[in-house]
Amino acid sequence: MNLATGGKAVVDAAGPLNIYTIGPSLDEPDDPDAWRRLVLSDVLARHLARSGAQVKVAVGLADLDDRTLSAARAANLSRADYVAGVLARIKARAQSLRLLPETIFEPASASVPQALDICRKLLGKGQAYEKLRSVYFDVRRDKRYGNMHLMDMDKLSVGKTVDLDDYVKDNPLDFTLLKRASLQDLKLGDVIETEWGNVRPSWFVQIAVAGLSALGRVDVLVAGEDHQFPHLENLRVVWSAAGVEPKAWLADRKLAREEGVALDLDALIAQTGNAGGLRLWLLSAAYRKPLSASQQSLSMWARNWHKVQETACGLRLAQGAGGNKGKDIPEDVAQAVFDLKAGLAQALEDDLSLHRYWPRLFTFVKLVNGWLSAGNFPGAAAALCLRQLEAADAVLGILDLSQMPVPGGSLPDAVRALVDEREAARKAKDFAASDALRARLAASGFRVEDTAQGPRVYALASV
RNA sequence: GGCGGCAUAGCCAAGUGGUAAGGCAGAGGUCUGCAAAACCUCCAUCCUCCGGUUCAAAUCCGGAUGCCGCCUCCA
């Protein structure tokens, strides 16, 4: 696993492990860059949990910052009402994107007293100072500040583009802990009364404290490219005051946007087909490289998703169907299953490099499709392949298990009768009748596809 | 202007010294009532450009060009 401090971090999966991700800004809850990050940390959490760790995952949401306030005001809502709405929306989205249900979404407003405590502590230690009713962190009081290899502090040209006279900070690198409230904040009641006056906690304090409040301790932080500096340094410093030192810091890259491609999440889901397709696409490239959001790239991953899903469907039917005499697994099947399993483990363990797993998956899919279409695939072998695919999916969460074909034996009698009738019509080359029966099946909520191994029946997604 | 990152086929993308994975698109074939798939074959003498190191470089070094991020709001 890569560490933002330059090297690799080895995370011990033996004990409890807390993963914290910086969530979307509340004025832009559908930000696809944020969701790429959330899906990545979800996969990390699933993987570590399967490796035996006791994993807790939380997503930090800054709901007291200027962006949230101005979004609420633009929507003509109180801050609390606006936040409640957005939070509900984010949670619904998380569910539809199959984030682990135990993922905690932690708004900063839930832990204001802790935020103030940390500020008092920093002031008490002399690491922070008050000026004109705002509280700032003094970066010169932290020897390690700037050591994260994110930015060479000596080369930072401080004040190059800033008129230093506009700052009340002692040093331009110092960052705000508590910001004095504006008159408008005061009027709308979006302030916190403290010994320093009416203030609001800064983004850094909000995110830092939300993490502590949700998890108690942060072991792995998943951030975005544009959080790298100074956000990560600032979080580190605040956490350090609370005695918390994350072991690993990850930062993923943003989407590579293309002219004319809509990047709101719903449009992306439509283009990648469904939630599983979106997850697959979000995970398709190395997280430390930009993810191409071009039309071609999206449709490519939609097709790739479909291919994997189809293979899972084929296996589902083949595992029960005929040819299951003998428990012998052909050697090439055992090898393919082993390769798939090893490929995933290797990819996950080496810096979550799933981009190196996809070729293995496609190889597996192609092999399986070959066996499947040859028609003499032993049921036990199909079952083994399917089990491995499902094991992989427990980490990846890309397959749509609700869209699996229904084995003939499990269909309602009436539906099965229609399917049989349609097969008879097809045999008799009465295609008009066959198409009519397909329409009747659709009306009963089923979709039929013909394959060399007989008709494949799916339950249509319930609307 | 400063700092950092990236540059591989029409597109996406692996590959950090030993002679270019994989996918999408495309071409041809098999299968096919329709629909949807699937299977087989082909598709980069070359990795942005220029110079250097080496027996050997897409991979290392120097330079050029282009793109992205940060250094400015949020903070």
The CATH number that domain A265-403 falls under is 1.10.730
Query: Which secondary structure element, helix H or strand E, spans residue A248, and what is its range?
Result: strand A248-252
Nucleic strand B near CB of residue A421 (< 7 Å): no
Nearest C-alpha neighbor of A58 from the set A80, A36, A42: A42
Alpha helices by DSSP H, listed for A321-454, are 331-349, 358-374, 379-396, 413-427, 431-443
> Measured between alpha carbons, how far is A255 from A120 in angstroms, rounded to an integer?
39
Give the tokens for residue A279: 């997850």
Instruction: Give chain A residues 60-79 with Cβ within 7 A of strand B.
Output: 62, 65-67
Return the percentage of chain A with pLDDT > 70, whole number: 90
Give per-residue pLDDT as tens, A43-88. 999 999 998 889 999 999 999 999 999 999 999 999 999 999 999 9
Sign of CA dihedral A449, A452, A455, A459: negative
Of the ranges A149-163, A329-343, A439-453, which one carries the lowest mean pLDDT score? A149-163
Query: What's the pLDDT score for residue A150?
Result: 52
Query: What's the pLDDT score for residue A326?
Result: 56
Q: CA of A462 and C1' of B25: distance in angstroms? A: 33
Do residues A44 and A252 touch, judged by C-beta distance below 8 A? Answer: no
Nucleic strand B near CB of residue A365 (< 7 Å): yes
For A61, A83, A125, A261, the CA distances from A116, given in Å and listed in that order, are 17, 21, 14, 43
C1' nearest to CA of A431: which nucleotide?
B33
Ranked by mean pLDDT, which of A78-82, A286-290, A321-325, A374-378 comes out on top? A78-82
> Measured between alpha carbons, how far is A390 from A38 in angstroms, rounded to an integer?
22
Output DSSP code: residue A230. I
pLDDT at A36 over 90: yes
> Measured between alpha carbons, how far is A228 from A149 in angstroms, rounded to an integer?
10
Do residues A1 and A41 touch, judged by C-beta distance below 8 A? Answer: no
Alpha-carbon torsion angle A38, A43, A45, A51, nearest 10? -170
Instruction: Using a 7 Å cut-off to protein CB atoms, list the covered nucleotides of chain B.
Output: 1-4, 6, 10-15, 21-25, 31, 33-40, 68-75
For A32, A231, A271, the CA distances from A226, given in Å and listed in that order, are 14, 9, 26
Sign of CA dihedral A379, A311, A41, A87: negative
C1' nearest to CA of A206: which nucleotide?
B75
Give the tokens for residue A207: 């995110």
Q: Which residue is nearest to nucleotide B67 (CA to C1')?
A: A256
Q: CA of A187 and C1' of B42: distance in angstroms? A: 72
Region A219-225: what's the mean pLDDT? 90
> Measured between alpha carbons, how far is A185 from A325 in angstroms, rounded to an integer?
74
Region A93-111: what's the mean pLDDT? 96
**Cis before A230? omega within 30:** yes
Q: CA of A218 and C1' of B64: distance in angstroms? A: 45
Instruction: Please give the sequence-ordered ranges of beta strands (E in DSSP) within A95-172, or none if there are none.
Output: 104-107, 128-131, 134-137
C1' nearest to CA of A70: which nucleotide?
B74
> Measured between alpha carbons, how far is A22 from A232 in angstroms, rounded to an integer?
11
Return the percentage of chain A with pLDDT > 90, whole number: 57
Instruction: Give chain A residues 207-246 with Cβ within 7 A of strand B.
Output: 225-231
- Where do the domains of chain A lie? 16-252, 265-403, 406-459
Q: CA of A88 and C1' of B73: distance in angstroms? A: 28
Instruction: Give chain A residues 273-312 with Cβ within 7 A of strand B.
Output: 284-286, 289-292, 294, 296-297, 299-300, 303-304, 306-307, 310
Query: What's the pLDDT score for residue A120?
Result: 94
Q: CA of A6 and C1' of B7: distance in angstroms? A: 22
Of the ranges A94-103, A149-158, A230-239, A364-373, which one carries the lowest mean pLDDT score? A149-158
Instruction: Give chain A residues 69-128 with Cβ within 7 A of strand B.
Output: none
Nearest C-alpha neighbor of A413 from the set A385, A443, A444: A444
Do residues A4 and A228 touch, judged by C-beta distance below 8 A? Answer: yes
> Measured between alpha carbons, how far is A341 from A258 in angstroms, rounded to an integer?
35
Nucleic strand B near CB of residue A362 (< 7 Å): yes
What confidence tier does A286 reach under pLDDT thresholds 50, 70, 90? Answer: very high
Nearest C-alpha neighbor of A252 from the set A353, A121, A118: A353
Query: What's the pLDDT score for residue A149?
Result: 55
Residues whose CB falls within 8 Å of the CB of residue A331, separated by 6 or more in sequence, listed in order: none
The CATH number that domain A16-252 falls under is 3.40.50.620
One-letter amino acid of A108 = A
Q: CA of A359 and C1' of B21: distance in angstroms? A: 8
Give the tokens for residue A432: 């008009």
Q: Which residue is nearest to nucleotide B13 (CA to C1')?
A: A285
Query: What's the pLDDT score for residue A284?
Result: 95
> Measured between alpha carbons, how far is A35 from A28 in angstroms, rounded to an integer?
11
Nearest C-alpha neighbor of A455 from the set A440, A443, A438: A438
Q: CA of A257 and C1' of B49: distance in angstroms? A: 26
Give the tokens for residue A261: 């491609």
Nucleic strand B near CB of residue A8 (< 7 Å): no
Q: CA of A373 and C1' of B28: distance in angstroms? A: 21
Residue A320, CB-side half-sphere exposure with 13 Å CA sphere? 9
